[in-house]
Amino acid sequence: MIIENISHSRIDKIDFNDISFGNHYSDHMFYCKFENGKWKNPIIKPFGDITVSPLSLVFHYGQAIFEGMKAYKDKYGNVFLFRPLENFNRLNSSAKRLEMPLISKSLFRDGLKKLLSIDKKWIPNNYGQSLYIRPFLIASDGKLSANPSKKYIFMIICTTASNYYLTPLKVKIEQKYSRSADGGIGFTKAAGNYASSFYPTRIAQEEGYDQILWTDSSTHSFIEESGTMNVFFYIKNNLITAPANKKILNGITRKSIITIAKKEGIKVKECNFSVSELIYNLRKNLVKEIFGCGTAVVVNHFKKIGYKFKNYYLPNISNKKRISFFLKKNLLDIQHNVINDPFGWRFKV
Ligand SMILES: *Cc1c(COP(=O)(O)O)cnc(C)c1O
């Protein structure tokens, strides 16, 4: 692998006590091209613009996928990834569905490891902070025919992330738009899934909500996800979440929360959960908590649910008593090497 080092690091300009998500990109990036059926010439170079033809298929037909993962430090400065093999496998399952070339494990692992070793000082030391890693794959073939590209670019970029203090969310149950359909690409991390969610999300925001609670595209009566998070309902001592079918994104945070909850003796139900059942339980004040989860936020709880112009409020309990906080802390403790990792999720870099 060729390494081009930056001449002046930007790290001294960063106040690690004041980072929000995605406002500081690390010094370097990983870049690799796919041509003539092969990935070739992987390189690490200073973070910066790339040049592609305006004909690149990514701009016209949207062949673009990505992953989101994080690197953490423990208090001794050791660096860990969290379940990176899961991201690798999901990247390739997205690639397969969008008719893009697969990435080899060695390319993914070596690129990531090398980049993290070069930009190690960008990984924050503080609990709850991390370096967010964004691997992505785009079609770069310069021709306008509506066929899968023959050329691609695979890159990895990194940005500082903090998620410890989050405001509770106001969420609207969507009755018109959908992010995902049967046979579609809902289970992939395709860029287009995000593009199509921006308009309905903006409408929800104009109505006073932060996010959408997505429902199934054919009947809008079953709950799927919220925004770009998987979603959990804590009702009568059961943790309920939609099954990881082809319409929801099979979140690594979701999977991990289910495993931790079960180990802690919390009952978890992965089942179709209807809007009417949710509203019934909200009316009866039986819903203790609702929360979304994903790599970026880890866990973020909801305070208000909107449905057909009515709002339902969730109980205002202290964070210390929240099951969502308990699960979040457990997960962060594993990620930051504060507690044992009984599941083998930490991956030392
Ligand atoms: C990335 C993503 C998630 C969360 O997945 P994690 O692996 O936990 O980060 C959930 N829903 C959607 C739509 C996503 O894109």
Domains within the chain, CATH numbers bracketed: 2-161 (3.30.470.10), 169-340 (3.20.10.10)
Cα(111)–Cα(158) distance, integer angstroms: 12
Grouping H, G, I as helix, E, B as strand and the rest as coil, residue 21 is: coil
Q: Is 189 one of the catalytic residues? A: yes
> pLDDT (tens digit, 9 = 90+) per residue, 275-303?
999 999 999 999 999 999 999 999 999 99
Q: Residue 90: its pLDDT value, please?
A: 98
Q: Whose CA is nearest to atom 10 of ligand 1?
A: 229
Asked whether the beta carbons of 103 and 91 are under 8 A apart, the reply is: yes
Active-site residue, selected from the candidate residues 189, 247, 288, 328: 189
Q: What value does the mean pLDDT of the chain take? A: 95
- How many A from CA of 295 to the centre of ligand 1? 7
Q: Residue 45: its pLDDT value, please?
A: 98
Higher pLDDT, residue 335 or 18: 335
Which of 19-23, 141-145, 240-244 is the most confident on average? 240-244
pLDDT reading at 206 higher than 80: yes
Quote the pTM value: 0.96
Distance between start and end Cα atoms, the chain: 18
- How many A from CA of 250 to the centre of ligand 1? 7
Q: Report the DSSP beta bridge partners of residue 222.
A: 274
Q: Residue 229: its pLDDT value, please?
A: 97
Residue 22 amino acid letter: G
Q: Residue 8: its pLDDT value, please?
A: 93
Q: Residue 182: its pLDDT value, please?
A: 95
